[in-house]
Amino acid sequence: MPIVAHNDLPTFARLRDEGQNILDPRRALHQDIRELHIGLLNMMPDTALAATERQFFRLVGQSNQIAQFYVHPFSLEALPRGAEARAHIERYYEPFDRIRAEGLDALIITGANVTHPDLSNEPFWEPLREVVDWALENVTSTLCSCLATHAVLQFRYGQRRYGLPGKKWGVYPHRVVDRRHPLVENVNTLFDVPHSRFNEIGRHQFDAAGLRVLAESDQAGVHLAVSEDGFRLVFFQGHPEYDTVSLLKEYKREVGRFIQGQRPDYPPFPEHYIRLRDRAILEEHRLRILEALDRGQTPPKVPESRVATSLDNTWHDTAEGVVGNWMGCIYQVTNSDRRLPFMPGVDPDDPLGLRRL
């Protein structure tokens, strides 16, 4: 079912141009179908703000056939922003006070860039805690992505992430390890997920917190887990929302950081992502960049278009399946009035009857 274009956010036009079903709000009023209102707390930095917005809108809109989706983006005032990003947020995003007053059926919290080893020193720390505490009492289910997973594991479960020897960067195979949970019902039992992070919450920490791991990787660790009740909190440690070219664009940014002297080494390739032929193209480009820098010349641009056409997306269909199952679970246990999180007769401590599984 479509996402409803309930304001003039440019993402709606972008997704409509891609062929996604975006519904005019006047038509939505005449549809005899339930609405689901999904909050998107977008904490990503300015350069990734709009792209992350589109990725999650797209994933929600393509995931399920049971409802009309109203997606409500918002951010945190404590996050530093440039003028352009702040203007975008002020025009198209909603204040948290309005979202809190009107209510949500579900909430997605994105990752964020950090500058401190201890997340509690980040400017988003206390505002994020306020949002999560409110959601746990008033929203049916909250999906935490990457850094948001790390933050919630720290302030709610006392599990601090730890640094990895090097960046975990690439596309990695994962296996469903608990097939009884409805979030992984009828999805591929072996599937890929992109990861991009310097830090990790290990399997032993999820276990110590009493969380239920649903999918993990021998190479990349835990990707998908849920809270002790099986539903209130959903944790992603990877990035299933990524576009096919997202890691390539990250690689391009890292090359730019090397050229500008912001990193000492030339970036490696994301693992299991770029084909051998294209690695050869990018390796030749690396040599040209080094030669240009040695001569004091302007380095050539990364040949992004030559590589992008041969990249494979091996994760999006399963991501749609998991998010679609999540939406289906929310639909089952929410009242049509989203201010009432659970239908009469539903146990709020075990809304899906997961303790029987």
Show me where the domains of the chain are located: 3-243+314-356, 246-308
**pLDDT average, residue stretch 49-55:** 93
Q: What are the start-end ranges of the H helices in the chain?
A: 10-17, 25-28, 46-61, 83-92, 96-102, 125-138, 147-157, 203-208, 246-259, 276-294, 304-308, 316-333
Q: Please say whether the beta carbons of 31 and 68 come within 8 A.
A: yes
Instruction: Look up residue 143 and give its amino acid.
Output: L
* Least confident stretch, 26-35, 190-199, 207-216, 348-357: 26-35
**pLDDT average, residue stretch 29-49:** 83
Q: Is the pLDDT of residue 340 over 70?
A: no
* Right CATH for 3-243+314-356 from 3.40.190.10, 3.40.50.970, 2.40.170.20, 3.40.50.880: 3.40.50.880
Per-residue pLDDT tens digits for 154-189: 999 999 999 999 999 999 999 999 998 999 988 999
Residue 56 burial (CB count, 10 A): 21
Question: Which are the catalytic amino acids?
Answer: 146, 239, 241
Distance CA 49, CA 240 (A): 17
Residue 228 is predicted with a pLDDT of 92
